[in-house]
A and B are shown apart, each in its own frame.
Chain A
Amino acid sequence: MTSELVTVRGLNLSFGNVRALRDVDMSLAEGEITAIVGDNGAGKSTLVRCLCGVHRADSGEIVFDGRTVSFSSPEEARHAGIETVHQNLALVEDLTVWQNLFLNRELTKGFGPLQVLDRKGMRRQAEEMVSALAVNVPAVGARVRRLSGGQRQAVAICRAAGFSSRLVIMDEPTAALGVQETERVETLIRSLREDGHAVLLISHNFDQVMRLADQVWVMRSGRCVAGRRTAETSAAEIVSLITGALAA
């Protein structure tokens, strides 16, 4: 078994009377694609938001890369090496691809307070970043407004994969895409794994989970009810775990 990058133990989180997470235990391994599946409202997104610093758990422990962490902001999580591709992608449509790739991580040149943007350097690096992905490459000087859904997804993933992140979290990365674009994005996700990133995937598409993931966790009404290696399970078993037809 490969080494664990993230271990979650006994995580609890309530919003008022709603217990969104109840004693969640799960883990994900370095260099693997891990999927979280479950019905709407099962707590998948809440769990992920705890990992990427949006929410803070009421109790429980998150161990990342051997250290117990408690992120108070997405910024902190990012510094630790956890990048998130949000469902709405968090791209600014009126900015160009390279500006989005470097948003809030702009390269500058100059001395002391007189820092100006290194526009050329960022464009060049952006070219390298998107060409390394070799999938569906949009021109880095184009505004995001002009890109297709798949191209936007590629840019968002590219941004998350850059900057030496250890874990890339993706919330429904292909929900809004057509068949061909879904296939390209899946290739992209696999290439992240090959590059040594761990990937945490939320998906409603069981076929996709079976195709991509190494490990899958099933959530039901705030609990993490089961974990399976995808090689040793079937889509049918996963579905019955989600609905509760099969006890874990």
Chain B
Amino acid sequence: MTAATRQATANQAPDTPASPGWKRFLPESGRWAEWAAPTGLVALVIVFTALNPGFLGYGNVQAMLAASAILIILSVGQTFTVATGGIDLSVASTMTFSAIMFGVGFGAGWHIALCCLLAVASGLAFGALQGAIIGYGRITDFIVTLGGLSMASGLALVVSDGQPQTVVDRFMLRLSTGSIGPVGYMVLAALVIAVLAHVLLFHTRFGTHVLAAGGSAEAATATGIDVRRIKLAVYTLSGTLAGMAAILLVARIGAAEPAANTQFLLNAVAAVVLGGVALAGGRATIAGPVFGALLLTALTNGLTSLGVSQYYQPVAVGAVVVLAAFVSRYQK
């Protein structure tokens, strides 16, 4: 920035002061809903560490990171659909369905790479189908993905006949247990996906069009952006990421199970809301939901380590999400 433009910026919008280089990487002041997740995470860590000094221990941090990997990936996918003003209620079921397809490939004696490919392709196809119905069929996101939720979990039961398929494989074992320092391969995969998603959202034409379609579908259409195609793309992306998350899920459990995984859906939406992504669409970050996912994982882990009953945890998650929504109300 030159001195002149800085002057102009200061004159035109007194509430956006010109910032030195490093500050550009932080969210704008006044948009502190995006700070809710990192701030809440720090607060939680302080509280839990005070109550239980072992909370920040090497082993526990490693466990928390590993537990957050799947949620991070699902939340990243969810961020894109929410950024267009939609919501993907089927993420967790799509993941279950993809995991079952992984198990089908594994049971048939396929190479592990092919099983992974099958899982991702299943998620992609299911997401694309939903995206096509939403975009081209002009049916509300909520309804289509609610139906998708039911269909994917049903299909998982049909295909697996309700039986889990045990997956024992050297690659999958290394994926779930291997690590660089305290950072496991699964978390590493999740972080790579998050970084790529950030680049996609903020440094490509596609990302700008996603935000434009969510901010004002009318304006986007008027400038020639095909909102239907954007819808198709974001649900395909969300489905694909659910397929990738399925690989991690199978690695973590050591089996492909037709379980409902409902808490993953609730937490993925919660992480996105905590991350300051506007549910109305048009405004999003990737870092926010990633911190949101970490916060939710830390919350669950901390409560467990304090001996709080499992039954209270959904109550705590729900309360935190509503609190975050409350905070974001005051950002304007």
Q: Which residues of A contact B (CB under 8 A)?
A: 73-75, 78, 84, 86, 88-95, 99, 103-106, 108, 115-117, 119, 127, 137-139, 141-142, 146
The 5 closest A-B pairs by CB, nearest first: A90-B222, A139-B12, A92-B215, A94-B282, A90-B219
| B223 contacts A104, C-beta separation under 8 Å | yes
With A116-B199, A141-B9, A141-B16: A91-B219 Cβ-Cβ less than 8 Å: yes
The reply on B310 being an interface residue by CB < 8 A is no
A8 to chain B, nearest CB (A): 22
| A115 contacts B205, C-beta separation under 8 Å | yes
| B215 contacts A106, C-beta separation under 8 Å | no
List 28 contacting pairs A-B, 8 Å CB cutoff, sorted by A: A75-B224, A78-B224, A88-B218, A90-B216, A91-B219, A93-B216, A93-B282, A94-B215, A94-B278, A94-B282, A95-B211, A95-B212, A99-B208, A99-B212, A103-B225, A104-B209, A104-B212, A105-B223, A108-B204, A127-B5, A139-B5, A139-B9, A139-B16, A142-B9, A142-B16, A146-B13, A146-B15, A146-B16
| B13 contacts A90, C-beta separation under 8 Å | no
The reply on B203 being an interface residue by CB < 8 A is yes
| B212 contacts A103, C-beta separation under 8 Å | yes
The reply on B129 being an interface residue by CB < 8 A is no
B1 to chain A, nearest CB (A): 9
Q: How far is the CA of A88 from the CA of B219 in the complex (A)?
A: 8
With A88-B218, A90-B223, A91-B219: A106-B13 Cβ-Cβ less than 8 Å: no
The reply on B322 being an interface residue by CB < 8 A is no
Q: How far is the CA of A44 from the CA of B204 in the complex (A)?
A: 38
Out of A78, A115, A142, name the residue touching B12 (CB < 8 Å).
A142
A123 to chain B, nearest CB (A): 9
A108 to chain B, nearest CB (A): 6
Out of B13, B205, B211, B224, name the residue touching A117 (CB < 8 Å).
B205
Q: Which residues from B are CB-within-8-Å of A73? A: 224
| Inter-chain pairs besides A73-B224, A119-B203, A142-B13, 8 sampled, C-beta below 8 Å | A94-B282, A95-B212, A95-B282, A104-B220, A116-B203, A117-B204, A142-B9, A142-B12
The reply on B283 being an interface residue by CB < 8 A is yes
Q: Mark B1-36, 1 if CB is under 8 A from A, else 0.
A: 000010011001101100000000000000000000
B273 to chain A, nearest CB (A): 17
Q: Which residues from A are CB-within-8-Å of B282? A: 92-95
Q: Which single residue of chain B is at the shortest CB-CB distance from A146?
A: B13
Out of A103, A117, A141, name the residue touching B223 (CB < 8 Å).
A103
Task: Choose among A92, A95, A103 the residue with the greatest number of B CB atoms under 10 Å from its CB.
Answer: A92
Q: How far is the CA of A106 from the CA of B205 in the complex (A)?
A: 6
With A104-B209, A141-B16: A115-B204 Cβ-Cβ less than 8 Å: yes
Q: How far is the CA of A103 from the CA of B219 in the complex (A)?
A: 10
Q: Which residues from A are CB-within-8-Å of B15? A: 146
Q: How far is the CA of A93 from the CA of B280 in the complex (A)?
A: 13
Q: Mark B278-320, 1 if CB is under 8 A from A, else 0.
A: 1000110000000000000000000000000000000000000
| A139 contacts B225, C-beta separation under 8 Å | no
Q: Which residues from B are CB-within-8-Å of A139? A: 5, 8-9, 12-13, 16
| A92 contacts B212, C-beta separation under 8 Å | yes
Q: Which single residue of chain B is at the shortest CB-CB distance from A105?
A: B223
Q: How far is the CA of A89 from the CA of B9 in the complex (A)?
A: 23
Q: How far is the CA of A84 from the CA of B219 in the complex (A)?
A: 12
Q: How far is the CA of A90 from the CA of B215 in the complex (A)?
A: 11
| A104 contacts B215, C-beta separation under 8 Å | no
| B224 contacts A106, C-beta separation under 8 Å | no
| B215 contacts A137, C-beta separation under 8 Å | no
| B204 contacts A94, C-beta separation under 8 Å | no
Q: How far is the CA of A78 from the CA of B222 in the complex (A)?
A: 11
Q: How far is the CA of A93 from the CA of B5 in the complex (A)?
A: 22
B160 to chain A, nearest CB (A): 37
| B12 contacts A138, C-beta separation under 8 Å | yes
Q: Which single residue of chain B is at the shortest CB-CB distance from A89?
A: B219
Out of A89, A92, A115, A138, name the residue touching B211 (CB < 8 Å).
A92
B217 to chain A, nearest CB (A): 10
With A116-B199, A119-B203, A139-B9: A95-B208 Cβ-Cβ less than 8 Å: yes
| B209 contacts A95, C-beta separation under 8 Å | no
Q: Which residues of B in the span 165-214 have a Cβ within 8 Å of any Cβ on A?
A: 199, 202-205, 208-209, 211-212
With A92-B212, A94-B211: A116-B222 Cβ-Cβ less than 8 Å: no
| A104 contacts B225, C-beta separation under 8 Å | yes
A47 to chain B, nearest CB (A): 18
Q: Which single residue of chain A is at the shortest CB-CB distance from B282?
A: A94
Q: How far is the CA of A94 from the CA of B331 in the complex (A)?
A: 14
Q: Which residues from A are CB-within-8-Å of B215? A: 92-95
Q: How far is the CA of A234 from the CA of B219 in the complex (A)?
A: 37
Q: How far is the CA of A93 from the CA of B15 in the complex (A)?
A: 17
Q: Which single residue of chain A is at the shortest CB-CB distance from B9?
A: A139
Q: How far is the CA of A103 from the CA of B220 in the complex (A)?
A: 8
Out of B202, B209, B222, name the residue touching A74 (CB < 8 Å).
B222
Q: How far is the CA of A119 from the CA of B208 in the complex (A)?
A: 11
| B224 contacts A92, C-beta separation under 8 Å | no
